[in-house]
C-alpha cells in the first residue's frame, strides 16, 4: 500500500560546488626554533655541521618589492569571468526548471497511485510503485550527473583562462614592476597608507584588454 504521508524522494535542490582560487598564493614559511631545537644544537653535532653550510645572507627590506592580488575581485569584476559565471548560471537555471517540471509530474503520478490503491490488485499496485521508484531514482541520478557536468565544463573554462591568459599576464606584471613577491590578498592585511601595493586593478585591466569572453563547453546532457 502507498501511504498518503509518503514524501516524494526527489531532491529539491542541485548540489552546488565551490571553486578554489585561480592563482596559487605565495606561501611564506616560518621556521620556529624552540627549546627542543636549542637542545638538539647542543647535543647533535651533525645538525651543527649541517648549519655550517648555511650562509647568513638574507633579503633586506630595501631589496623587497611586494604586491598583493585580490583574487575575489578578479573573479567578480573581470569581464571574462563574469561571462563564464553567467554561462554556468544559465545551465543551472535550465536544470532547476527541468527539476521543477519533473517534480510536478512525479507528484501527480504519486497521487494517481494513491487513488488507485483500492482498485488495483496487490501485484499491479506493487508494479506501479516499483516503476515510480525507478523513475525517481533515474531522475536523481540524471540531475546529479548533469550538475557535475556543468561544474566540469566551468572548471575547464576557468583553467583555460588561467593558463592561457591570467598566469602570463601576472608574470608579465611581476616582471614589469620588478616585484620580489606577490601575495594572495585573502591572506594579507594592508594599511590604508601603503601606495602601489595592490595590483588587482592592473591585473583586471590587462585581462579585460586581452580577453573578454571564453565559451564554456556545453555540459553533457544539455
- 48-88 confidence digits (pLDDT tens): 787 888 888 877 777 788 899 998 899 999 999 999 999 99
State mean pLDDT over 88-108.
94
Whether 9 maps to a domain, the answer reads: no
Give domain status of residue 22, yes or no: no
pTM of the model: 0.67
> How many domains in the chain?
1
Q: Tell me the torsion sign for CA atoms 8, 117, 109, 112.
A: negative
Let me know if residue 19 belongs to a domain. no
Q: Are 73 and 200 in contact (CB under 8 A)?
A: yes
| Bridge partners for 68 per DSSP | 183, 198
* CA 86/CA 81 separation, integer angstroms: 8
The residues near 210 (Cβ < 8 Å, ≥ 6 apart) are 165, 169
Reference 203, options 25, 77, 24, 28; nearest CA is 77
pLDDT score of 46: 77
CB-count burial class (<10 Å; 0-12, 13-18, 19+) for 49: exposed
**Is the per-residue pLDDT at 36 higher than 70?**
no
How many other C-beta atoms are found inside a 10 Å radius of the C-beta of residue 170? 23
**Nearest CA to 155 among 93, 219, 98, 222?**
219
- Residue 43 banded pLDDT, cuts 50, 70, 90: low
* Residue 55 within a domain: yes
- Please state, in angstroms and rounded to a whole number, the distance separating the CA atoms of residues 50 and 1: 78
pLDDT-based confidence at residue 35 (cuts at 50, 70, 90): very low
How does residue 145 score in pLDDT terms, banded at 50, 70 and 90? Answer: very high
28 within domain boundaries: no
20 pLDDT higher than 70:
no
Q: Is 143 helix (H, G, I), strand (E, B) or coil?
A: helix
Q: Does residue 184 lie in a domain region? A: yes
Q: Which domain holds residue 55?
A: 35-210
In angstroms, the Cα distances linking 40 to 70, 140, 174 are: 41, 59, 41
Residue 175 located in a structural domain: yes
- Can you list the alpha helix ranges (DSSP code H) found in the chain? 35-43, 45-51, 71-77, 79-116, 122-161, 167-177, 200-210
CB-side neighbour CA atoms (13 Å) of 10: 23
Cell numbers linked to 37: 631545537
In a domain? residue 124: yes
Amino acid at each position: 500500500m502507498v501511504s498518503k504521508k509518503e514524501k516524494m524522494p526527489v531532491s529539491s535542490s542541485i548540489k552546488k560546488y565551490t571553486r578554489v582560487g585561480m592563482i596559487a598564493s605565495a606561501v611564506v614559511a616560518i621556521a620556529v626554533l624552540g627549546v627542543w631545537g636549542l637542545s638538539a644544537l647542543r647535543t647533535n653535532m651533525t645538525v651543527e655541521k649541517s648549519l655550517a653550510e648555511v650562509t647568513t645572507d638574507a633579503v633586506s627590506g630595501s631589496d623587497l618589492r611586494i604586491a598583493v592580488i585580490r583574487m575575489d575581485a578578479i573573479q567578480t569584476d573581470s569581464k571574462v569571468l563574469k561571462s563564464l559565471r553567467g554561462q554556468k548560471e544559465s545551465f543551472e537555471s535550465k536544470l532547476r526548471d527541468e527539476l521543477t517540471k519533473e517534480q510536478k509530474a512525479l507528484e501527480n503520478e504519486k497521487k494517481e497511485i494513491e487513488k488507485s490503491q483500492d482498485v488495483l490488485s496487490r501485484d499491479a499496485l506493487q508494479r506501479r510503485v516499483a516503476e515510480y521508484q525507478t523513475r525517481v531514482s533515474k531522475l536523481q541520478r540524471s540531475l546529479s550527473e548533469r550538475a557535475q557536468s556543468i561544474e566540469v565544463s566551468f572548471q575547464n573554462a576557468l583553467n583555460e583562462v588561467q593558463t592561457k591568459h591570467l598566469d602570463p599576464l601576472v608574470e608579465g606584471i611581476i616582471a614589469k614592476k620588478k616585484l620580489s613577491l606577490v601575495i594572495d590578498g585573502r591572506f594579507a592585511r594592508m594599511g590604508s597608507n601603503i601606495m602601489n601595493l595592490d595590483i588587482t586593478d592592473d591585473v583586471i585591466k590587462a585581462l579585460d584588454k586581452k580577453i573578454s569572453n571564453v565559451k564554456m563547453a556545453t555540459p553533457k546532457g544539455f
